Each structure stands twice: as C-alpha cells, then as structure tokens.
Amino acid sequence: MHYLNICEIVKCVTNSDGYMLMLLLVSHTMFIEVSWHKAIVWRSDTSTGLYSYILLLISQSIVYAVTLILFIDFFHQTHKQMERTRQIVITLKYHRCDEEKVNNELETFNRMLLLNKTTYSPLNMFTLSRSLVGKIFSGIVTYLVTILTYSNESNVDINSFL
C-alpha cells in the first residue's frame, strides 16, 4: 500500500532530521526573542543610528517569524490532509455498504489509518502543528514581559546577558 510508504517516509524524516528541525525551530525562536528584547530595551535611546538598528532588528525578526510560521504550516497541512483522508474513507465506507469487497478494503484502510497515525515530531518531543506557533509566540511574549518587569526592579544590566 502506498499509504504505508508515506508513513515510512514521514517516520524516516522525523527520526533522521529531528535534530535539524529542532535546531531550526530553536534558532528562529531565539533570534526573534533576542531581537525583540533588544528593540524594547533600547527604545529609550534617542540616537539616530540606534533607531535604524532597531528597525533592522524588528524587520529581521518579522522575516524569521514568517519563515517559522510557513515552515510549521507545511507540516500542519500534511497532518490535515491525513485526517481528511481518514474522513473520506469513513464516508465512503458508510455510503458503499452494499459492496462487500469494497467495504472490506475500506475497513482495512481505515484501520491502517488509525494504527499508523504519522506526525512530524522532531525527537518525539512535540508535533509540528499550528498550535506550536501559538505556543512559541506566547512563550516569547511571556519571557519578554517577565524579563522587562523584573529588570526594572533590579540594578542588573540586562544587556550583559545578551
């Protein structure tokens, strides 16, 4: 069956390229966080050169964010199509109940779909889906709010950590 071949390809990509997928996600996330952090911390400086640098940081972080969204959306669309295939098989099964051979094949394929659920999960840590994008951006916002809240209370220079 071709579906099993597709499942094997997805599992192979997940297992062999898991480190690269993780590295890509972490690097994009960290760049977005650091650039927004620097832009927020340096917003009080009025030098003209710094404004252009902040604008560059913000524009680069927007490019990285769009890249991250498009990267994850590709994997999400694959998951969505697999679920859609399962729904089509179930619909066909209930509309073609008069033909025994077709019904048996659809039942077998439906069981294969249920038993071989494949997801792009780098290192089996998380699934690449649209909800991951929301979690990443909410984590970045939470981190920035926490750092900026507590940086005003202490005398520690935040830029020394970056």
- pTM reported for the whole predicted model: 0.67
Q: Two tokens at 29?
A: 């996330």
Q: Two tokens at 125?
A: 């840590």
Q: What is the pLDDT of residue 138?
A: 92
Longest dimension (CA), the chain: 78
DSSP 34-77: HHHHHHHHGGG---HHHHHHHHHHHHHHHHHHHHHHHHHHHHHH
Q: Give φ, ψ of 61 to 5 degrees.
A: -70, -30
Closest to 14 (Cα-Cα) out of 117, 115, 127: 127
Closest to 39 (Cα-Cα) out of 154, 155, 150, 158: 158
pLDDT tens per residue across all 162 residues of the chain: 566 677 777 777 777 777 888 888 888 888 888 888 777 776 665 566 677 777 788 888 888 889 888 888 888 888 888 888 888 887 877 776 677 777 777 788 888 877 777 777 787 788 888 888 899 899 988 988 887 787 665 545 555 555
Residues present in the chain in total: 162
